[in-house]
């Protein structure tokens, strides 16, 4: 068991649920196993947080609460400290390559049931997307393979994102600029921010700048993140980004973002993969 340092209020804030719901899950399904201080206060650890997130993922998939809790309790039974065993990501990759929808769904289920989304992202999803991109550049992957894999992963990740605007933490407004249609990295960034207590408003791919500005005026977010895989969509929106950045912190992420555009627009540059970028933004 990891060190138990979290009070129930902090655990609830991190996971975006109420303390009453956490107590109910602990009482009804033995989902949580808190330690107790000498004063009788409950303290929770990282394993408890992993089980709560697994429970949320299973409920989002439509499972009954008792079944979701049983699978969630297994999430920390054999989980290693930092990585998924190689056979679990490999099963997902193999199924995606074979256009095996049922197999890919089952492999994704096993990964999410056992590990947190950040571990799944860094050990399974991001490596696969990187390899798929390299194969695409080498003409070794078909359009059909790219569409099948990204479509399936996008749907599953958005399923995990249900309710990611709940809570009382800072709000991040996430979008891809006009002309950028790939948003898997942005979804992973949002999920990683959610794990750090942020509330997420997600506008998705190919977002008109006027739409982004209107949403920012209405929501007054603590940060706006624009993510692009290529340079041109951000470069073509520099004037509008400059105007938005004059009143709200704007952060540029993805391979298409660079120091030059950030300096010209008054935005900040978020570096690293989506998990690292979320850590940098939270810091």
**pLDDT tens sequence across 69-78:** 887 777 565 4
Task: Let me know whether 108 and 36 are in one domain.
Answer: no
> Is residue 166 assigned to a domain?
no
d(CA 265, CA 270) in angstroms, rounded, equals 14
CA 244 to centroid of chain Cα atoms: 25
The reported pLDDT for the residue numbered 174 is: 98
Of 35, 51, 76, the residue at which a domain comes to its end is: 76
Pairing of strands 42-43, 35-36: antiparallel
Question: What are the backbone dihedrals phi and psi of residue 43, each rounded to the nearest 5 degrees, phi first?
Answer: -130, 135
d(CA 213, CA 221) in angstroms, rounded, equals 11
Task: Let me know whether 102 and 144 are in one domain.
Answer: yes
Q: How many domains does the chain have?
A: 3
Q: Count Cβ neighbours within 10 Å for each residue of 63-75 and write b for 16 or more, e otherwise.
A: beeeebbbbbbeb
The reported pLDDT for the residue numbered 83 is: 47
User: Over 144-203, what HEC string results?
Assistant: HHHHHHHHHHHHHHHHHCCCCCCCCCCEEEEECCCCCCCCHHHHHHHHHHHHCCCEEEEE
Mean pLDDT over all residues of the chain?
88
The reported pLDDT for the residue numbered 40 is: 80
Task: Let me know whether 181 and 270 are in one domain.
Answer: yes
> Is residue 278 assigned to a domain?
yes
> Is residue 277 assigned to a domain?
yes
Q: How many CB atoms lie under 10 A from the CB of residue 234?
A: 27
Task: Let me know whether 182 and 267 are in one domain.
Answer: yes
Task: Let me know whether 103 and 180 are in one domain.
Answer: no
Encode pLDDT of 139-186 as tens digits.
777 899 899 999 999 999 999 999 999 988 999 999 999 999 999 999
- The range of the structural domain enclosing residue 257 comes to 171-282
Of 160, 190, 210, the residue at which a domain comes to its end is: 160
Task: Let me know whether 175 and 227 are in one domain.
Answer: yes
CATH of the domain at 18: 1.10.1660.10
pLDDT higher than 90, residue 113: no
Task: Let me know whether 263 and 186 are in one domain.
Answer: yes
Of 135, 160, 185, the residue at which a domain comes to its end is: 160
> Is residue 2 assigned to a domain?
no
> Is residue 82 assigned to a domain?
no
């Amino acid at each position: 068991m990891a060190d138990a340092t979290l009070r129930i209020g902090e655990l609830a804030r991190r996971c975006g649920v109420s303390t009453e719901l956490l107590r109910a899950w602990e009482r009804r399904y033995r989902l949580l196993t808190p330690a107790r201080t000498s004063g009788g206060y409950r303290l929770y650890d990282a394993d408890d947080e992993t089980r709560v997130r697994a429970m949320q993922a299973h409920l989002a998939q439509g499972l009954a609460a008792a079944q979701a809790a049983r699978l969630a309790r297994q999430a920390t039974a054999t989980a290693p400290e930092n990585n998924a065993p190689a056979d679990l990501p490999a099963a997902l990759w193999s199924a995606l390559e074979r256009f095996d929808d049922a197999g890919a769904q089952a492999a994704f289920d096993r990964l999410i049931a056992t590990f947190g989304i950040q571990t799944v992202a860094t050990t399974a999803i991001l490596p696969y997307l990187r390899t798929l991109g390299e194969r695409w550049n080498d003409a070794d992957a078909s359009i059909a393979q790219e569409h099948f894999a990204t479509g399936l992963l996008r749907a599953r990740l958005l399923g995990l994102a249900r309710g990611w605007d709940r809570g009382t933490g800072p709000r991040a407004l996430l979008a891809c600029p006009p002309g950028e249609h790939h948003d898997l990295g942005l979804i992973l960034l949002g999920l990683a921010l959610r794990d750090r207590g942020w509330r997420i408003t997600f506008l998705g791919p190919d977002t008109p700048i006027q739409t982004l500005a209107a949403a920012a005026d209405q929501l007054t977010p603590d940060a706006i993140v624009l993510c692009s895989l290529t340079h041109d969509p951000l470069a073509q929106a520099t004037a509008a980004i400059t105007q938005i950045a004059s009143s709200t912190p704007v952060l540029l992420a993805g391979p298409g973002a660079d120091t030059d555009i950030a300096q010209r627009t008054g935005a900040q540059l978020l570096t690293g993969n989506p998990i690292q970028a979320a850590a940098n933004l939270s810091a």
